[in-house]
């Protein structure tokens, strides 16, 4: 396990009144209430399906559940705030009632959707845009005082592929996260997690450069989330599909943990927990 001797990285998170220790890496399970997310098995179209998935992931050891209602796959079409809310809210309310101890993360870049979900029982805001797509997001996070996942991307899901051009991808991503975190600190947001945004406005080589240098993000002193599960950076390299990318996902998750990742965001919780347990034995 990566041990950074130069920078003191925050390893606790206050979510829903619970202090979560991230010095031992945690797993975040993905649940999508969308009809078009890139991995078909993650799509849950009814509340009953969501509850079954949530229960299974929690039983397998997920510390967080990440609910999304807006597909952020490359090229995805825009939907209205109302449609996103209508897809998301019943799932949040159902999980909060059925599993009151669950820590719910909301995958949205819209402040209004985020606030509605937090008021319905969610605890964390996971913003793929890092505050770029909604000018009200940072103020909303500060007012609600909930943990915030700050991710790097460019453009929107529909346009990001055309914006994957960098002179130095690590430095440009690092600078963005540092600048946005500075804004959040000025607003006195207490709990921030950084995410380099694997696959978001990144070519395959960009994502692997970021993975290879993942430990360097510790210079920001913040917990790091790695979200690579079943993405094109894996199956594009192995000439397979998202459905066949579990083995590759296990490999990159192992590398991420050994380079200091604190949270693995995954479709397959059981396998990710196994990775955490094995890597932890290395000390």
What is the set of active-site residues?
A: 231, 265
Is-contact 208 233, C-beta < 8 A?
yes
Is-contact 253 245, C-beta < 8 A?
no
Taking alpha carbons only, the member of 197, 278, 230 closest to residue 24 is: 278
Query: Strand pairing of 26-32 and 263-266?
Result: parallel
Is-contact 133 170, C-beta < 8 A?
no
94-97 long-range contacts, CB within 8 A, separation 24+: 94/47, 94/50, 94/51, 95/50, 95/51, 95/54, 95/65, 95/67, 95/121, 96/120, 96/121, 96/122, 97/121
Beta carbons within 8 Å of 226's beta carbon, 6+ residues apart:
195, 196, 198, 211, 214, 252, 253, 256, 261, 263, 264, 265
CA-to-CA distance for 253 and 52, rounded, in angstroms? 25
E strands of the chain, at which residues? Answer: 12-15, 18-21, 26-32, 64-68, 104-107, 124-127, 148-151, 192-195, 225-226, 263-266
Taking alpha carbons only, the member of 74, 59, 2 closest to residue 29 is: 59
Tokens (6 digits) for 219: 């210079």
């Amino acid at each position: 396990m990566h041990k950074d001797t130069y920078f003191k990285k925050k390893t606790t998170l206050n979510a829903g009144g619970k202090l979560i220790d991230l010095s031992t890496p945690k797993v975040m399970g993905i649940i999508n209430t969308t009809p078009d997310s890139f991995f078909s098995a993650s799509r849950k179209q009814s509340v009953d399906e969501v509850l079954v998935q949530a229960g299974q992931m929690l039983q397998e050891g997920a510390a967080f559940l990440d609910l999304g209602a807006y597909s952020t796959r490359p090229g995805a079409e825009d939907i209205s705030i109302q449609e996103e809310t209508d897809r998301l809210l019943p799932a949040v309310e159902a999980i909060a009632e059925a599993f009151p101890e669950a820590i719910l993360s909301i995958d949205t870049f819209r402040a209004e959707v985020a606030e509605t979900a937090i008021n319905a029982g969610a605890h964390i805001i996971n913003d793929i845009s890092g505050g770029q797509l909604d000018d009200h997001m940072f103020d909303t996070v500060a007012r609600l005082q909930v943990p915030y996942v700050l991710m790097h991307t460019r453009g929107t899901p529909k346009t990001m592929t055309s914006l994957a051009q960098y002179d130095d991808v690590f430095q440009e991503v690092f600078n963005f996260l540092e600048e946005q975190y500075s804004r959040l600190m000025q607003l006195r947001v207490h709990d921030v997690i950084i995410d380099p945004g694997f696959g978001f406005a990144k070519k395959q080589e960009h994502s692997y450069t970021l993975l290879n240098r993942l430990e360097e993000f510790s210079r920001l002193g913040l917990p790091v989330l790695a979200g690579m599960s079943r993405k094109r950076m894996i199956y594009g390299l192995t000439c397979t599909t998202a459905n066949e990318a579990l083995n590759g996902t296990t490999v990159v998750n192992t590398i991420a943990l050994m380079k200091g990742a604190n949270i693995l965001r995954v479709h397959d919780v059981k396998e990710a927990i196994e990775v955490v347990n094995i890597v932890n034995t290395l000390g």
